[in-house]
Chain A
Amino acid sequence: MNKAQKGAWFTLGLAILLLVFGIIIFTAMFTSGATATRLALFWFLLILTYMSVPIFLLRRRQSRSEIVVDERDNCIRKNAVLASFISVWVLLFITSIIPSYIVGQYGSIPVILLPIINFGIFLIILLVYSVAILVQYGWGGRKNE
């Protein structure tokens, strides 16, 4: 596994953890009791622990002659950005339609919700970006073949 793949796996894990954390926080807002708060705190600590993974993951090299980044890595990253860019618009389109089904065509949406929705989109985009990188590398086979 090269550096870009390790980074993509790490980002994928982080995005999933943050999405679950968001769901826990969201459910904790509507339920009372200490269980949800304790779960949210546990998940937060888990994320913090997970953040220390790159120290060990990125330190270990594939081989002595491994270079940090080459042309192919750049091309793969740029393709992943393109995939993420397209998915941003698809997700924004979906988020502009779904609320009208929930609150009706003449309903309104609190302004405070908009950045939260977009943070959710951002996390999904992180997932898309990481998956696009991993798919292009073939999910991390030996020597990326």
Chain B
Amino acid sequence: MNKTQKGALFSLVNFLLLIIFSIHSIKIIRNIFSFGGYPNALKIVLFWAFLIFGFMGLSAFLLYRKKQSCAEVGSDERDGLIKKRAVLVCFISVWILLISSYAVLWRIVGLDGSIPICILPLIYLGVFFAAMLVYNVTVLVQYGWGGKDGEK
């Protein structure tokens, strides 16, 4: 596995964890702002946040330290091309995801409905996480899911 593949795999796992964390914490955060409150909510959110960021730091340290070979270069033309193609796929997926999220909103609140302003950044954050997943999967697919030397 070369550096780009390691990076893609690392981001894929971490963004998956972040999505799970976000879904899990929606309920807890809603409880924090509710009238009765939820005494342990903040502790649970912080525990998950430390767990994810700890995992991120540890996996990055272990992944990037080990080189494929002594002569391994940081990035070459092919890597650049693969990344740029992945950006193109990701760019298209952002628009598809945005349109899909509006379709879901229309379905939930109706055409004449409205949503709280604070939901808007959360929608964009969700789209960002999903787009990053698409980016990393595209990079890994182009390398053939990480065979030896990134070849298939």
Contact = CB atoms under 8 A, between A and B. Distances in A.
Given A103-B117, A109-B117, A115 B102 contact: yes
Contacts, number: 71
B3 interface: no
A112 B111 contact: yes
B88 A78 contact: yes
Interface string A85-106: 1001100110111011001111
Given A96-B124, A112-B111, A81 B117 contact: no
From B85, B99, B121, name the one whose CB has the most chain A CB atoms within 10 angstroms.
Answer: B121
Interface residues of A, number: 29
B88 A81 contact: yes
Interface stretch (B12-20, B60-68, B89-97): B89-97
Given A103-B117, A109-B114, A111-B111, A84 B91 contact: yes
Given A78-B85, A81-B84, A88 B91 contact: yes
A114 to B, nearest CB: 5
A109 B115 contact: yes
A48 B99 CA distance: 26
Interface of B: 81, 84-85, 87-88, 90-91, 94-95, 98-99, 102, 105-106, 109-118, 120-121, 124, 127-128
Interface of A: 78-79, 81-82, 84-85, 88-89, 92-93, 95-97, 99-100, 103-112, 114-115, 118, 122
Given A78-B85, A108-B114, A111-B105, 7 more contacts: A78-B87, A81-B87, A96-B124, A107-B117, A110-B114, A111-B106, A118-B98
